[in-house]
Amino acid sequence: MTKKELFLSVMRNEKPQKWLGASFSAYPDGAAVFGAGGAERLFHAIIDPISNWDILQFSGERYLDNWGVVHRYIIGVDPGIIPMVDDDNKVIKDITKWRDYVKFPEIPKDLDWSAAQKHTAEAHAKGELVMVPSFRGPFERLHSLETFEDVLVDMYEEPEAVNEFFEAYTDWKIEVFKQIIDNIDLDIMHCHDDLGSLTGLFFSVDKFRELLLPHYKRMYDYVHSRGILVQHHCDCYIEPFALDFAEIGVEMWQGALPTNDIVKLQKEMDKRGLNMLLMGGIDQTIVDRDDITDDEIRAEIHRCIDTYAPGGHFLPCIGSITCLHDHATEVCEEEMSKYGAEWLKAHS
């Protein structure tokens, strides 16, 4: 079986399980290749030109993106792109009048898809999975257009206006998905939207189901209608509504931190006849430190696999895909594949 076939077998929770290596072993390597317009490959994914134009082309201490949002991203210093939104520079001054403030940027018609198509063909030739990330889901987009505190207040005090914004943004995202799928022969759409902290939700389960879940369903229904799998990245605590994603057909939750009761979720999926691959389980607060030893990293990988592998629906994965410390990433990925194979052999 190719690496792609092995991964898809695990994703479908087929028995007997044939592979328990690092989640992204079936994808192109994680090296980043940067061109003039941003990344071409990044984090085991192939970057489309819309993401380059919308997100990745920018860097600096302080810059404006296509949406008029102030950001900071210093390459080699910051862990990622950081919205620097405050009451003075926020785009949306009043959520009930968001249409007066938000100008949805028009996707350029002259984007160059050739690099993404080249990397896609190379990955398919190797039997690898082609994943394309689409950054900033509805919640992350809104909290870049106004302050984080504003969003949380508006979700409770002005839910109708928030819902209307999410509806319009979902329309825009579906057009993004359409252009990506029209131009790239991908297997997986990797979608970002972090919805909690390490140990808690940003809002109630009821608010999630009222204001966000219907829009995820509409976005992901479109992706599925085009024959593409959905991987939702959410490296935080979302246990109380995690299986809502399984209910709407999301095939993979990437970033399932161990602060979520993964064993409980595995049992609940079996009980309810659901399936969603939980990609995570590694405690990054342990492995991603300056003072960590290789043996401590390996011990955490063993704990992760010993704890979660028996329940199925699982592959070990670093929550943020890679660690901040490159050496930690290397040891984690090496040990996930090595110990995963040993565990599988011992339990087959």
Going by C-beta distance under 8 Å and a sequence separation of 6 or more, which residues neighbour residue 211? Answer: 155, 159, 162, 163, 166
Domain assignments of the chain as residue spans, ordered by start: 3-34+121-346
Q: pTM, whole model, 2 decimals? A: 0.96
Residue 197, CA atoms < 13 Å, CB-side half-sphere: 6
| pLDDT (mean) for 319-342 | 95
User: What is d(CA 52, CA 48) in angstroms, rounded to the nearest whole number?
Assistant: 7
Q: What is the pLDDT of residues 74-111, one digit of tens each?
A: 887 888 899 999 999 999 999 999 999 999 999 999 99
> Mean pLDDT, to the nearest integer, of 162-177?
98
User: Each residue of 49-77: pLDDT tens digit?
Assistant: 999 999 988 889 999 999 999 999 988 78
Q: Is the dihedral of CA 184, 189, 194, 198 positive or negative?
A: negative
221 C-beta neighbours (distance < 10 Å), count: 13
SS3 44: coil
Does pLDDT of 41 surpass 80? no
| Residue range 174-231, pLDDT digits in tens | 999 999 999 999 999 999 999 999 999 999 999 999 999 999 999 999 999 999 999 9
Helix (H, G, I), strand (E, B) or coil at 133: strand
Which pLDDT belongs to residue 43? 82
Average pLDDT of the segment spanning 262-283: 98
What is the average pLDDT across 284-295?
A: 96
Q: What is the pLDDT of residue 78?
A: 85
* Domain 3-34+121-346: top CATH class: alpha beta
E-strand stretches of the chain: 33-35, 38-42, 45-46, 60-64, 70-73, 82-83, 131-134, 188-192, 229-233, 252-256, 277-281, 314-317
Contact 316, 20 (CB under 8 A): yes
What pLDDT does 36 receive?
A: 44
Q: What percent of the chain has pLDDT over 70?
A: 97
CA distance 59 to 73: 5
pLDDT of the residue at 79:
82
What mean pLDDT comes out for the span 153-168? 98
Helix residue ranges, H only, 95-158:
98-101, 114-125, 138-145, 148-157
